[in-house]
Chain A
Amino acid sequence: MSGNMNLTLKVWRQKNKNAEGKLVNYQVKDISPDMSFLEMIDVLNEQLIVKGDEPIAFDHDCREGICGMCSLYINGRPHGPKDRITTCQLHMRSFEDGQTITIEPWRAASFPIVKDLVVDRSAFDRIIASGGYVSVNTGNAQDANSLPIGKEDADLSFAAAACIGCGACVAACKNASAMLFVSAKVSQLALLPQGQPERYLRVHNMVAKMDEEGFGNCTNTGACEAECPKGISLSNIARLNRDFFVAGIASDN
């Protein structure tokens, strides 16, 4: 078919957490520009499987940019060369025929490699479990409209809540900091009346957990915001810092 592409892939292969990994070269031919990036890897894997070789392991599920399961560091950028999308939404029309593409896993000490391109992001779950919620048991709620929330706050809260927990912010950060992820949850709830009773305890506990999990410090470089597929704003980090400061003062009393 005309217009199809031939590409060279350099893919990180690593048998398991403890094995040593390396970049391995693969050639893929006749790739349609309408294919998604992950479908291109499917094509390569199909070739490997029928030869009896092990396919490349990579995380993926919804393939529509919302579950946050896909990752991949593509030519030095989390989720590839285009802004505001996940790897599963990246299409081959964003590459050129003959190009060499390097595919690596997220690199962060807090995200150990499971196999090939698959990493363990359970540290994010543990951070949420440390305080990323409103403590309200089922059955305790009052009528939903008895709590009016201005549209602007509701919209800002939603924008923070749009985080998909993929970990691109950590992968993009030179310090492997999880501040954008943590601040998105802190902000979502800090902007809503429901989040007020636990506001300062929440930020205190979540930051403590983040540190315990070994994520690096935030130096306000902004790479996280630039690479976030959902456009989570850096201003959330500022909000977290303000609340964390207040929480510190409060705990001194």
Chain B
Amino acid sequence: MSILDAKIPEGTLEQKWTKFRSSVPLVNPANKRNLEVIVVGSGLAGASAAASLAELGYKVKVFCFQDSPRRAHSIAAQGGINAAKNYQNDGDSVYRLFYDTIKGGDYRAREANVYRLAEVSSGIIDQCVAQGVPFAREYGGMLSNRSFGGTQVQRTFYAAGQTGQQLLLGAYSALERQIGMGAVKMYARHEMLETVTIDGKCRGIIARDLTTGKLERHFGHAVLLCTGGYGNVFYLSTNAMGSNVTAAWKAHKKGAHFANPCFTQIHPTCIPVSGDHQSKLTLMSESLRNDGRIWVPLKAGDNRKPIDIPEEERDYYLERRYPAFGNLVPRDVASRAAKERCDAGFGVGNSKMAVYLDFAFNMDRYGHIEASKKGLDNPDAHTIRELGKGVVKEKYGNLFDMYQQITGENPYETPMRIYPAVHYTMGGLWVDYNLMTTVPGLYALGEANFSDHGANRLGASALMQGLADGYFVIPYTIGSYLSKEISTKSIDTNHEAFSEAEKAVQEKLNKFLAIKGTKSVDYFHKKLGKIMWDECGMARTEAGLKKSIDDIRALQKEFWSDVIVPGSADEFNPELEKAGRVIDFLELGELMCIDALDRNESCGGHFREEFQTEEGEALRDDEKYAYVAAWEFKAQNQFELHKEELKYENIKIAQRSYK
């Protein structure tokens, strides 16, 4: 085991980034033109990084597996993006956003990175508005804000329930502008299948053209992985069908350490599973918790319709357990509380694995306000409700429509049924302060890295981090590496390192096709998902994790002997793509369980049943586990743990309380 150096700059917390920015080596414009950067992934992190680096003058290539960079899954983020603007005059500041994020992450994130994130947050909003991102506004023309979980200020900027879409289209438009100007070359429907290392430095990638099946070699002085999270290891998640860990996992197997893989976020408000046919789960934005109250019946097994259960026979369990934050506790806390109620027999709906998210109370509250605005004296209950519905529709209309489309129920008339689902992964490739992995020249940005959210991410912070990394961090930090590469000429892709990497990829593709077994790729993915959800999901135990590691290894073996992948490698073949992604998930799932087993404490999204307070809250062990667990790939099924100690010099580490 070695101690990892995060390369955190000297100085006080407030000075670190400013000083670093002013002293980091620069690359002059003439040299930038000769430096090539590969960006894999075109979501918020990838698109913003690619556009910003191209604007600086670097030669950039961007790869995405979708048919257009605009499809990246950042597009599906609903609720909003945080920034410490303090436009609401409610006491927000850079320090408070920093503090909330560290606390929300259950004291498992790096102070210097999080402070930098809070510092640049404000500039993100400015940049996006300048691009023409149509954020929600007040009548006076100013930007509107709302609240998200784990905070007591209103710092979330939004565009209805489509904030991710609008931010991504902003970054995409900046990217397309650079493509139009010839500064970025775009490779859509291309999947990165290997990194290429020469003399210890990352020098390029092997990508497969998904339309023709042809393997391609691409050189870069640096490679940026902006490839998102790995929530699909659970099969069912709120991720897109194509979201995968392959790029990050290939990098891991070529020397990049994987940090805190067991830190996964189970989001409390998703539409419950309705049957075995289900291919994905749909999120209902956390912003709904601004106006929705979560409850279950007081009596276990109460089968009455929700509207027939009187107020005094309802248990608003979040408001009961956490009076200070109520329905706006962080996600990990809200998810566990829902699971606790359902496991105890108080769940609702056919499966009994759901709780209610009820808007009636706030619809009436808004209805009263609207009635008094209109000067209506003694309006009847129906009028109030109708007026209130209008307000709720304006705020969350698209989410309510989405819910109705999927469930066939009208959430304006009956409470939504919700249950936690896998949503985000805090873990990812280990990176230093520069966002560089343990492989020189290989960077990880956005959800693909582990850096800012500790053991639990606060709502509306993923968009903030993705854009912070791409617009405002990497354009500076990459200079400290590339300034030393100005005399490195482009390496010919006939170099043997490229040939070997391509050969390995080709052999693996051939191997998938040659097995000709009896079970589809999805069969293995579903089986893995069930193991992960049951044993490495919202609650984990030593025994369960040990068994899962064996089960997953057995499943890996079964995959290599019995999977069937139709078609060939030299054509458009989605099953072949899936096979590659699922075997990587099978290997990652094993590491997640190993990591969860190693961490004998509960923190944030990682809840080990053996370690909890009497009230059922996560019980951290700061003496032994205040570190980042960075795993090195040694050989198949063998991983070595390295630690980065977490030092809290500015925040007093404490038991997290939202009561």
Residues on A close to B: CB < 8 A?
Answer: 15-16, 32, 34-36, 38-39, 42-43, 46, 48-50, 52-55, 57, 59-69, 84-85, 89, 91, 93, 114-115, 118, 120-122, 124-125, 128-145, 147-151, 154, 157-158, 161-162, 164-165, 188-189, 192, 194-195
The residues of A that contact B61 with a CB separation of less than 8 Å are: none
The residues of B that contact A147 with a CB separation of less than 8 Å are: 129
Q: Is B73 an interface residue (CB 8 A)?
A: yes
* Docked CA distance A157–B75 (Å): 18
Count of residues in B whose CB is under 8 Å from the partner chain: 85
Name the contact of A89 in the complex, choosing from B129, B402, B475 (C-beta under 8 A).
Answer: B402
Q: What are the nearest 6 A-B pairs in CB distance?
A: A148-B141, A129-B180, A133-B173, A141-B126, A141-B130, A158-B134
Name the contact of A53 in the complex, choosing from B72, B140, B566 (C-beta under 8 A).
Answer: B566
Q: A158 with B76: in contact, given A125-B188, A195-B132 (CB under 8 Å)?
A: no
Residue of B nearest to A192 (CB): B132
Q: Is B375 an interface residue (CB 8 A)?
A: no
Residue of A nearest to B125 (CB): A144
Q: A129 with B572: in contact, given A50-B519, A54-B567, A67-B75 (CB under 8 Å)?
A: no
Residue interface bits B491-533, CB-to-A below 8 A is 1, else 0: 0000000000000000000000000101111100000000000
* Docked CA distance A38–B280 (Å): 11
CB distance A121 to B280 under 8 Å? Answer: no
B274-305 at interface with A (beta carbon < 8 Å): 274-275, 277-280, 282-283
Q: A66 with B76: in contact, given A133-B176, A141-B123, A189-B132 (CB under 8 Å)?
A: yes
CB distance A49 to B55 under 8 Å? Answer: no
The residues of A that contact B67 with a CB separation of less than 8 Å are: 59, 69, 120-122
CB distance A194 to B522 under 8 Å? Answer: no
B119 to chain A, nearest CB (A): 14
The residues of B that contact A139 with a CB separation of less than 8 Å are: 123, 127
* Docked CA distance A25–B475 (Å): 54
The residues of B that contact A55 with a CB separation of less than 8 Å are: 566, 574-575
CB distance A129 to B406 under 8 Å? Answer: no
CB distance B71 to A69 under 8 Å? Answer: yes
The residues of A that contact B571 with a CB separation of less than 8 Å are: 15-16, 115
B284 to chain A, nearest CB (A): 11
CB distance B135 to A154 under 8 Å? Answer: yes
Residue interface bits B59-95, CB-to-A below 8 A is 1, else 0: 0000000111111110110000000010100000000
Q: Among B55, B142, B176, which residue has the most Cβ atoms of chain A within 10 A?
A: B176
The residues of A that contact B126 with a CB separation of less than 8 Å are: 141-144
B479 to chain A, nearest CB (A): 14
Name the contact of A61 in the complex, choosing from B73, B405, B566 (C-beta under 8 A).
Answer: B73
CB distance B572 to A89 under 8 Å? Answer: no
B260-283 at interface with A (beta carbon < 8 Å): 274-275, 277-280, 282-283
Q: Is B369 an interface residue (CB 8 A)?
A: no
Q: Is B154 an interface residue (CB 8 A)?
A: no
Assuming A34-B408, A141-B126, what are 8 further A-B pairs, CB within 8 angstroms? A42-B277, A52-B564, A63-B240, A66-B76, A69-B71, A130-B180, A144-B128, A145-B142
Residue of B nearest to A48 (CB): B566
* Docked CA distance A196–B567 (Å): 51
CB distance A138 to B140 under 8 Å? Answer: no
The residues of A that contact B177 with a CB separation of less than 8 Å are: 129, 133, 135
Q: Is B211 an interface residue (CB 8 A)?
A: yes
Residue of B nearest to A142 (CB): B126
Q: Is B4 an interface residue (CB 8 A)?
A: no
Q: Is B169 an interface residue (CB 8 A)?
A: yes
Q: A62 with B278: in contact, given A49-B520, A122-B188, A158-B159 (CB under 8 Å)?
A: no
The residues of A that contact B70 with a CB separation of less than 8 Å are: 68, 125, 165
* Docked CA distance A145–B128 (Å): 12
The residues of A that contact B471 with a CB separation of less than 8 Å are: 138
Residue of A nearest to B123 (CB): A141
Q: Is B337 an interface residue (CB 8 A)?
A: no
Residue interface bits B199-221, CB-to-A below 8 A is 1, else 0: 00000000000010000000000
CB distance B520 to A144 under 8 Å? Answer: no
CB distance B141 to A149 under 8 Å? Answer: yes
B312-364 at interface with A (beta carbon < 8 Å): none
* Docked CA distance A142–B129 (Å): 9
CB distance B572 to A62 under 8 Å? Answer: no
The residues of B that contact A120 with a CB separation of less than 8 Å are: 67, 211
* Docked CA distance A64–B177 (Å): 28
The residues of B that contact A151 with a CB separation of less than 8 Å are: 137-139, 141
Name the contact of A115 in the complex, choosing from B72, B127, B136, B572 (C-beta under 8 A).
Answer: B572
The residues of A that contact B137 with a CB separation of less than 8 Å are: 149-151, 154
CB distance A63 to B160 under 8 Å? Answer: no
Residue of B nearest to A205 (CB): B180
B165-195 at interface with A (beta carbon < 8 Å): 165-166, 169, 172-174, 176-177, 179-180, 186, 188
* Docked CA distance A174–B64 (Å): 32
B108-140 at interface with A (beta carbon < 8 Å): 123, 125-140
5 pairs across A/B with beta carbons < 8 Å? A34-B274, A61-B241, A121-B68, A135-B177, A138-B48
The residues of A that contact B180 with a CB separation of less than 8 Å are: 129-131
Residue of B nearest to A53 (CB): B566
CB distance A38 to B279 under 8 Å? Answer: yes
Q: Is B472 an interface residue (CB 8 A)?
A: yes
* Docked CA distance A162–B162 (Å): 8
Q: Among B160, B211, B566, which residue has the most Cβ atoms of chain A within 10 A?
A: B566
B209 to chain A, nearest CB (A): 11
A224 to chain B, nearest CB (A): 19
CB distance A89 to B132 under 8 Å? Answer: no
B399 to chain A, nearest CB (A): 10
* Docked CA distance A125–B177 (Å): 10
A40 to chain B, nearest CB (A): 8
The residues of A that contact B76 with a CB separation of less than 8 Å are: 62, 64, 66-67
Q: Is B143 an interface residue (CB 8 A)?
A: yes
* Docked CA distance A50–B516 (Å): 10
* Docked CA distance A157–B67 (Å): 26
A64 to chain B, nearest CB (A): 5
* Docked CA distance A95–B70 (Å): 31
Residue of A nearest to B174 (CB): A133
B355 to chain A, nearest CB (A): 20
Name the contact of A66 in the complex, choosing from B51, B162, B516, B518 (C-beta under 8 A).
Answer: B162
Q: Is B242 an interface residue (CB 8 A)?
A: yes
CB distance B134 to A188 under 8 Å? Answer: yes
Q: A142 with B130: in contact, given A62-B75, A158-B166 (CB under 8 Å)?
A: yes
* Docked CA distance A69–B69 (Å): 11
* Docked CA distance A54–B55 (Å): 44
The residues of B that contact A85 with a CB separation of less than 8 Å are: 405
Q: A125 with B186: in contact, given A32-B275, A62-B73, A141-B129 (CB under 8 Å)?
A: yes
Residue of A nearest to B568 (CB): A54
Q: A138 with B566: in contact, given A125-B188, A148-B140 (CB under 8 Å)?
A: no
The residues of B that contact A131 with a CB separation of less than 8 Å are: 180
Residue of B nearest to A56 (CB): B574
Q: A125 with B130: in contact, given A46-B520, A50-B564, A144-B143 (CB under 8 Å)?
A: no
Q: Is B52 an interface residue (CB 8 A)?
A: yes
A121 to chain B, nearest CB (A): 6
* Docked CA distance A199–B405 (Å): 38
* Docked CA distance A154–B131 (Å): 14
The residues of A that contact B85 with a CB separation of less than 8 Å are: 144-145
CB distance B127 to A141 under 8 Å? Answer: yes
A205 to chain B, nearest CB (A): 9
A125 to chain B, nearest CB (A): 5
* Docked CA distance A167–B349 (Å): 38
The residues of B that contact A50 with a CB separation of less than 8 Å are: 518-520, 564
Residue of A nearest to B517 (CB): A50
* Docked CA distance A60–B279 (Å): 12
The residues of B that contact A63 with a CB separation of less than 8 Å are: 240-241, 279-280, 282
